[in-house]
Amino acid sequence: MSPTASGEWDSGIFNRGQSFSFTFDEAGTFAYLCTVHPFMIATVTVAEQGSPADTPTPMPTATPAPAAPIPVPPTPAPIAPTATSAPVAQTIVSPIVDFTLENLNISVGDTVRWQNADGAPHTATVDESPVASGEWESGILNTNQSFEFTFDKPGKFAYFCTVHPFMTATVTVQAQ
């Protein structure tokens, strides 16, 4: 009653199953209540009809924006790195020169080829005390002879030359 005077409506007494309809032809917020039980109050908000284009327009505009980030499926990119990180096992050539064995850093699956480029015979032999797994023993390598061993387990392995025990080094094998 006290609200916007225009667009008044009164359903009259409702009994169970009865209904009442009212068409709102003006925008605004209208409070209404039940005259039988005045504590039953609520409001009907009637939106402006004239500017429907204005309001809805901003909405769709906002929507397209988030749509853009969606095509961010450069997720397939990781596939590339995967291919890159899937380096085929390599063979690392480690020359033995001047009574020196090299410290090597390789990955699981890599093969090391020790090549004796020295004038004296040498060996590339895993040290007995280290990790027992992945043992290898080249046997005597004379000049220009070589020996290969593939590391299939990660770890740090000490090795030496049985002919010249002072020739020591390590092979560090990184997990893939």
Instruction: Give the binding site for Cu ion (CB under 5 A).
Output: 122, 161, 163-164, 167
Nearer to Cu ion, 106 or 122 (CB): 122
Q: Do residues 1 and 10 make contact, with C-beta atoms less than 8 angstroms apart?
A: no
Nearer to Cu ion, 155 or 164 (CB): 164
What is the identity of the amino acid at 116? N
Q: Do residues 4 and 30 make contact, with C-beta atoms less than 8 angstroms apart?
A: yes
What gap in Å lies between CA 83 and CA 127, rounded to an integer? Answer: 36
Minimum CB separation of residue 103 from Cu ion in Å reads: 16
Minimum CB separation of residue 136 from Cu ion in Å reads: 15
Minimum CB separation of residue 93 from Cu ion in Å reads: 18
Nearer to Cu ion, 32 or 99 (CB): 99
What is the identity of the amino acid at 138? S
Minimum CB separation of residue 99 from Cu ion in Å reads: 6
CA distance between the termini of the chain: 79
Minimum CB separation of residue 86 from Cu ion in Å reads: 36
Nearer to Cu ion, 112 or 122 (CB): 122
What gap in Å lies between CA 18 and CA 87, rounded to an integer? Answer: 79
Among left, alpha and beta (phi > 0; psi -120 to 50; other), residue 6 is: beta
Q: How many helices (H) and strands (E) does the chain have?
A: 3, 9
Nearer to Cu ion, 133 or 142 (CB): 142
Among left, alpha and beta (phi > 0; psi -120 to 50; other), residue 174 is: beta
